[in-house]
């Protein structure tokens, strides 16, 4: 195990496959929640208030962040900073 750890990038630790899959499952659920919230917003532009526009923008930003994390967690090996 110590020999294998020498191959990791400096200052990182490799997460286990079970932990990676668990995190991927949690982040996928979060993504679905954000998508559900986005779908609930009104589509028509004349109905949108500033509050709704801000909410939509915030949800889209969160969705982008979640999708970025998903792309990382879909790799075969994932390393986290110590």
d(CA 28, CA 34): 10
Q: Mind listing the pLDDT tens digit for each residue in 19-57? A: 999 999 999 999 999 999 999 988 776 666 888 889 999
d(CA 77, CA 17): 8
The predicted model scores a pTM of: 0.78
What is the per-residue pLDDT for 21? 95
* 3 state DSSP class of 82: coil
What is the per-residue pLDDT for 52? 87
Query: Residue 33 corresponds to which tokens in the numbers above?
Result: 């929640």
Sequence spans of domains, the chain: 16-75
- 1 pLDDT exceeds 80? no
């Amino acid at each position: 195990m110590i020999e294998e750890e020498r191959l990791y990038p400096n200052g990182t630790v490799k997460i286990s496959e079970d932990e990676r899959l668990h995190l991927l499952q949690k982040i996928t659920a979060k993504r679905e929640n954000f998508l559900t919230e986005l779908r609930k917003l009104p589509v028509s532009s004349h109905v949108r208030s500033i509050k709704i526009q801000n909410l939509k923008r915030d949800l889209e930003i969160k969705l982008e962040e979640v999708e970025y994390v998903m792309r990382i967690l879909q790799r075969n090996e994932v390393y986290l900073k110590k």
